[in-house]
Amino acid sequence: MKRLNVPVGHSVTLADLEEADDDNSESSTEDEHNGEVETGIEFIQNFKEGDWVKVKFSYDKGIKVYIGKVTEKLDTGKDKYNGTFLRQSNKCSDILVFPDVPDVYNFSSSDVLAVLKPPTVQRGCYAFKPYPLTT
């Protein structure tokens, strides 16, 4: 796997990806990534309890994306997890909070879009860098 040379805090551009493809013309397979799943430019490693994840949920009117913390792996099925999810704060658009009534849902590993770095927490407000719901 080729490491991209992108400064911290900057977005990966198409030109960055094309440079990486030119440098490494070999095709990547799932075996080369130790079982990681490729989605776009991110690789999702096997996640565990306590990890923060970006999960998509399908509804009648479309798809919504939420940020949550994996609370447990369920024994009922393969790759089924339970998580508690955050909501956007009413006070600030880039801060997430747990709602008064917990949002606890089951999801499968195929619904996970990304595994996130732990947020900074201050007085019950969770801040992720970069903000994961803009992309």
Task: Convert the pLDDT of each residue in 21-43 to its tens digit.
Answer: 555 444 433 333 344 443 333 44
pLDDT of 16 over the 90 cut? no
* Residue 114 pLDDT: 87
- The answer to whether 87 and 103 have CB atoms below 8 angstroms apart is yes
Q: Give the N- to C-terminal CA distance of the chain in Å, as an integer.
A: 23
Distance separating alpha carbons of residues 131 and 135, to the nearest angstrom: 8
pLDDT for the residue numbered 69: 95
pLDDT tens string 82-134:
999 999 988 888 899 999 999 999 998 889 988 888 999 998 899 988 888 87
Alpha helices in 40-107, H assignment, sequence order: none
Task: Give the Cα separation of 83 and 113 in Å (integer).
Answer: 14
- Note the pLDDT of residue 2: 59
Where exactly are the structural domains of the chain? 10-45, 47-135
CA dist., res. 53 & res. 47, Å (int): 8
Predicted TM-score of the model (pTM)? 0.63
Higher pLDDT, 115 or 9: 115
Distance, CA of 3 to CA of 124 (rounded, Å): 35
Position with higher pLDDT, 135 vs 89: 89
